[in-house]
Homo-oligomer: A and B are copies of this chain.
Amino acid sequence: MNLFGKHLVCTQDWSVEELEAVLGLAAEMKKDRFSPKYTSLLAYKTFFMFFYNPSVRTRQSFECAATELGGHAQFLEPSSMRLKTSKSAGETIEDAAKVMSRYACGLGIRILEDKVQKYGDGEALIREYCENATMPIVSMAHDKFHPCQGLADVQGAREHLGSIKGKKLLLVWGHGALARSWCSVQESILINSRLGMNVTIANPKGYDLDPEVIAATKKNCQANGTKFEVTNEPVECYRGADIVYSRNWMSPNAYDAEKGFQKAKEVEQALKYTEWITDSKKMALTNNALYTHPMPVDRGHEVSDEVCSGKRSIIYDVAENRLHAQKAIMALTMSKFDYKPAGKDSAKRPVAA
């Protein structure tokens, strides 16, 4: 398996075997974090990070990842770039991507719903970079998907549950004032259904996720012979869950055709659904479920303090795994690392320039 040069926009674009290579390497990297096996993989190399949206967690974990692989991550804000838009003169994405490919070993891009005119524009922009770059592109979260978060979620769940096959994931909407992106939750249902979990999605009416992603998740479950359901009920859905993942997300009506993303309206509406919070009473209905969340957590809205800081909460482990998963992705797609999954004979990977 040779992942050198491969883009990662959504885990659904990669084969299960490829995703398992990332997960296997990430687990090894976590055990042996500063091993010389890894610390010079990106020596003297540059990884560009393009933040259309600011971020602290994502920046921290990607910049650490590059550092721990011996390389350097450049923090770049495209607002200081004179890119061509429908309204102003500037550089085309083709030109930007081609030049950056001369300098760097890879490019991460983050662009969320509030920086685009309509849902899907962020993904389109990333895919335009992918078409023009001659280096690998990785999504650092965009309006549709967040592949690194999805991989970190799975790594964390396996650390605590062993195999996740046949177990039940409850992805449940939480109320709150943040009008959050669909990217983390959509990635979660895709990768977990892919890797064999039963998936239940629970949200109030009017908060359905992208129908295409729902359809793809359903298909993943059918292929694995697992259960898939969507419900608008906030309590009974917890029964039998092995992992509870609560998170606020915006409604499909968040975009106004003219004015773009309407945060204030979303927040006002989302705060009304106060029964949508993960608390101990609901957790008692589960199969002693783990609690997870991609962070930052909006405590008191998405989840009670008691659950979030409780013994079954794995939020810090999952946050840490962002680092390891991203190191594994970067090692496999941006370096000449010849990864052999433990206990397997893998042919030498061709060494790229």
Q: Which residues of A contact B (CB under 8 A)?
A: 34, 39, 43-46, 48, 54-57, 59-61, 63-64, 67-68, 70-72, 74-76, 78-82, 84, 88-92, 95-96, 98-100, 102-104, 176-178, 295-299, 301, 315-316, 319-320, 323
Contact = CB atoms under 8 A, between A and B. Distances in A.
B60 A91 contact: no
A178 to B, nearest CB: 6
A316 B98 contact: yes
A73 to B, nearest CB: 9
A301 to B, nearest CB: 7
A102 B316 contact: yes
Given A67-B72, A82-B178, 16 more contacts: A34-B44, A39-B44, A46-B63, A59-B74, A60-B104, A63-B74, A64-B74, A89-B177, A89-B178, A89-B301, A90-B296, A91-B295, A91-B297, A95-B296, A95-B299, A99-B319
16 contacts: A34-B43, A39-B43, A44-B67, A44-B70, A56-B76, A59-B76, A60-B74, A89-B178, A90-B296, A95-B297, A95-B299, A96-B296, A99-B319, A102-B316, A102-B320, A102-B323
Contact of A68 (B44, B100, B102): B44
B72 A46 contact: no
A319 B102 contact: yes
3 shortest interchain CB distances as A-B pairs: A54-B80, A91-B296, A102-B320
Contact of A46 (B43, B64, B82, B319): B64
B56 A177 contact: no
A158 to B, nearest CB: 18
B60 A48 contact: yes
A92 B299 contact: yes
A170 B80 CA distance: 30
Nearest to A301: B89
A80 to B, nearest CB: 3
A188 to B, nearest CB: 18
Given A57-B99, A90-B298, A297-B91, A64 B177 contact: no
Which of A89, A90, A316 has the largest count of B CB atoms less than 10 A from its CB? A89
A45 B299 CA distance: 31
A14 to B, nearest CB: 25
A232 to B, nearest CB: 24
Contacts of A296: 82, 90-91, 95-96
Contacts of A295: 91, 95, 99
Nearest to A48: B60
Nearest to A50: B56
A325 to B, nearest CB: 13
Contact of A88 (B76, B81, B177): B177
A315 B84 CA distance: 17
B60 A100 contact: yes
